[in-house]
Each structure stands twice: as structure tokens, then as C-alpha cells.
Amino acid sequence: MERRAQAAGARAAAGRDRRCYHDSRETYFRQKGERPVTDQKTLNVGDQAPAFTLKTIGMKDVSLGDYKGKNVVLLFYPLDWTPG
């Protein structure tokens, strides 16, 4: 039992505890005036994707509307600062 408590303390100190992550993520989005994804509508198969603009690795703005009429595959994966 003591090992579990030590491991939980180590995870929290390292920022790996999901509660710590959740709190810091909420604070980050609220400070930027944005809503976290969990606060937004979930899409179903066949729903139209909402308009959005993101930055590429090269810091170029790319909008979903730039690809209107074309097939688009969106791939989301966790970054270094997200649990995965």
C-alpha cells in the first residue's frame, strides 16, 4: 500500500496524475479564453465538420475551408503535453 502512495505522489510531482493534468489544462484554456475540447459538441458520422483554422509545423495557417470539395482525413494524436 505504501508503494502505491509513493507512486501516486511521484506521478503527481511529475505531472502525470490525470487530475493534475486536467486542472492545468482547464486553467490553460480558460486563461486563453478558449473552451477545452471536452466542452465542445461531439460530432457523429455524417455530421458536417465545423470551420477551423490551425497552424502547420511551419506556422502557416491552414483552414478546413481551403479543402472544400476535396477529400480530407483528419488525424489527431497526443502531443508531449497530453496524456496518451
Per-residue pLDDT of the chain (84 residues; tens, 9 = 90+): 566 655 555 555 555 545 555 566 667 777 777 766 665 677 888 888 888 898 888 899 999 999 999 988 877 666 666 665
For the chain, what is the domain count?
1
Q: What residues make up the domain containing 29? A: 2-67
- pTM recorded for the entire structure: 0.41
**Is 84 within the bounds of a domain?**
no
36 within domain boundaries: yes
Structural domain includes residue 82: no
Cell output for 6: 509513493
Q: For position 54, what pLDDT does the model report?
A: 86
**Cα 82 from Cα 84, distance rounded (Å):** 6
For residue 38, being part of any structural domain is answered with yes
- Placement of cell 506521478 in the chain: 11
Q: Could you tell me if residue 54 is inside a domain?
A: yes
